[in-house]
Structures are given as C-alpha cells and as structure tokens.
C-alpha cells in the first residue's frame, strides 16, 4: 500500500486580537501564526477500494475516533475527488492536545497534502485551502507555514517574511480549554465594548505591531501584541497567569498564551536561558520543551515525504 510519512509541526500565536462577531456567527480576528519545531509524526497510506474505510492508529488511544481532524480531512478529500479508498493513518502525537498549539489542525493538513499526492492527480492549492477552511480555522495556515498573518476567522492566511528569533520554551500545563467556551466568555465580557471606534483602535495597534515585526522580528512584538483570550482564560484558570509571569522572570523577552490556551510560550535570547526555564518548569511537574521557530522554507521541507 503506497505510504507517505511526514512531520506535522505545531504553531504558536504571536498575538491574537478578537474583533466583533460576524454575520456567520464567528468572530473576526487578527493573529500572527508561527510554526515551531515541536512536531507530530503522520503516516498516511492509501489504496483503491470499493468502499471507503479509514483506520486511525495513535499513541494516544483516546484520539482514535471519527471526529479526529485527521480522519475528517481524509474523508473530505476523498469526497472532493469522488474517490473511495482504504486509508490508513498513523499518528505519533508529540504536540499536547487541546493546548492551543494546533496539533490536530497540523495533522489534518499533513493528511490532506499526503492523500492529495497519493491520489493523483493532486488537488491544486486553491482546492486544498477550501477543504482546509471547511475543517477548521487553523488548518489553512498549516498549508503555508512559517510566519503568517491570519485574518477573518483565521482561515485567510497571508505569508509574512521570516525573521530570526531566539529559542522558544513551550509550557503545557495539562489544562484543557475549550475554544468555543473561550469565545463565548469573551463575547460575554466584551458585550457593548467592541464599538466601531474600539475595533479601529485594535486594528491600528495590530498594524503597528506588524510593522514592528517587519522591522526587527518577534522581539519587537513584545508589548505590542496581546492575546485577547488571556483575559477570559486567566479569569477561569488563574494558575495560567502565574505560569506566564514566570517566563519573563526566567528571561523570556516575549511571553504569551497560544491560541485559546492552555499552552504558554516564551521567546528567549539564549539557549542557556531557555534550558534553565525548562528545568524550572519541569521541577514543578510541568511539561515544558525548548524548541525554535520553523521558517517557511524549512517547514515546506518538513512536508516532504520521509524516507
């Protein structure tokens, strides 16, 4: 059975601003996505069959279900192509699930591109993006990688220039935060406050932050970009705010929660500081890993089949 094996890197959000609710019920947002070197391993096999059968095996048995984004991605692509096939998916999960690091979305994008190659002829980029957007707001970004601007509900992605950055420490406290819950809480707290003038102010500050990034990189975002989910998530889980405060104390020049959480990250200037921070969090019984920004060219390389 033809098989493709590839890496599925995680992402962090270098800031995430939420605007008003759209007519379709989603919130308009502005974010900067960044792929990092922490990654899952995805193996996809495919052979023609009279009826479609998708088998998922994972080192996390609790993720082996039909609602897994990787399974949904495989089904959506076959339906788009009008094909039936026997699909095998093997996931080695290294990215903490439900932490705002995009692991499920990255797995889904890896399955989409792998199956597109195996099916022949492969779908064009526009078709893949359309399927990805239908699966989830973060999935289209993982067809791009590197540093990218996300607007709309996050599915409209525009590449930004990759800029050098120091090592990154990701802390996964093991707290599951529901993204729909976080949006509902934000909408409740922001009711009546996101006036047109307030939204213009958010957009202007976001534009200034992008210019700062373009001028000097991620460190220039410190203090310029916020994550609007923090105000609601920290209210429910104050221990996350305490952990975030430990990152600057350990030397991080930029510290934020990623997505709707609960993972936190800090960007450091030296590997020595990053390693010391990892040891400090590990001593508290927390999962922490030192990794790095993954530039777009390297990300695209990670999408090539592994021999």
Domain ranges (residues) in the chain: 3-160, 168-291
- Our answer to whether residue 244 is catalytic in this structure is no
- The C-alpha atoms of residue 74 and residue 231 are separated, in whole angstroms, by 36
Block mean pLDDT (10 aa), the chain, length 307: 91 91 85 95 94 96 94 96 94 93 96 90 89 95 95 92 89 92 88 80 81 72 78 95 95 93 94 96 95 92 61
- Our answer to whether residue 11 is catalytic in this structure is yes
- Calculate ∠ Cα 301-94-27, nearest 5°: 80
Write down the pLDDT at residue 291. 96
Write down the pLDDT at residue 175. 92
In sign, the C-alpha dihedral spanning 72, 75, 78, 80 is negative
Write down the residue that tokens 């996505």 correspond to. Answer: 33
Question: Which residues are registered as beta bridge partners of 290?
Answer: 169
List 40, 138, 162, 228, catalytic entry: 138
Write down the pLDDT at residue 224. 60
> Is there a contact between 16 and 228 (Cβ–Cβ < 8 Å)?
yes
Write down the pLDDT at residue 223. 55
Write down the pLDDT at residue 212. 74
pTM comes to 0.91
Write down the pLDDT at residue 307. 46
Residues contacting residue 50 through CB under 8 Å, at least 6 positions apart: 84
* Chosen CATH of 3-160 out of 3.40.50.150, 3.40.50.740, 3.30.230.10, 3.40.50.300: 3.30.230.10
CATH superfamily of 168-291: GHMP kinase, C-terminal domain (3.30.70.890)
Evaluate the omega torsion of the peptide bond into residue 262 and state whether it is cis, within 30 degrees of 0: yes
């Amino acid at each position: 059975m033809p098989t493709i094996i590839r890496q599925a890197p995680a992402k962090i959000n270098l800031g995430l601003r939420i605007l008003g609710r759209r007519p379709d019920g989603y919130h308009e947002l502005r974010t900067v996505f960044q792929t990092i070197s922490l990654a899952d391993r995805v193996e996809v096999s495919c052979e023609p069959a009279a009826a479609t059968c998708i088998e998922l095996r994972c080192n996390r048995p609790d993720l082996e279900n039909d609602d897994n984004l990787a399974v949904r991605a495989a089904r959506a692509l076959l339906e788009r192509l009008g094909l039936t096939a026997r699909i095998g998916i093997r996931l080695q999960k290294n990215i903490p699930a439900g932490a705002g690091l995009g692991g499920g979305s990255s797995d889904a994008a890896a399955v989409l591109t792998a199956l597109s190659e195996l099916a022949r002829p492969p779908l064009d980029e526009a078709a893949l993006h359309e399927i990805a957007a239908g699966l989830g707001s973060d999935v289209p970004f993982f067809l791009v990688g590197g540093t990218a601007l996300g607007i709309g509900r996050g599915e409209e992605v525009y590449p930004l220039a990759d800029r050098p950055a120091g090592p990154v420490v990701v802390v996964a406290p093991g707290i599951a935060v529901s993204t729909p819950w976080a949006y509902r809480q934000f909408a409740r707290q922001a009711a009546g406050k996101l006036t047109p003038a307030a939204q213009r102010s958010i957009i202007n500050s976001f534009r200034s932050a992008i210019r700062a990034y373009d001028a000097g990189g991620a460190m220039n975002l410190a203090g310029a970009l916020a994550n609007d989910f923090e105000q609601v998530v920290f209210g429910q889980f104050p221990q996350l705010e305490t952990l975030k405060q430990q990152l600057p104390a350990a030397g991080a020049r930029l510290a934020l929660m990623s997505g709707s959480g609960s993972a936190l990250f800090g960007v450091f200037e030296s590997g020595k500081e990053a390693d010391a921070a990892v040891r400090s969090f590990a001593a508290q019984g927390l999962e922490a890993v030192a990794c790095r920004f993954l530039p777009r060219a390297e990300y695209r390389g990670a999408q090539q089949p592994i021999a």
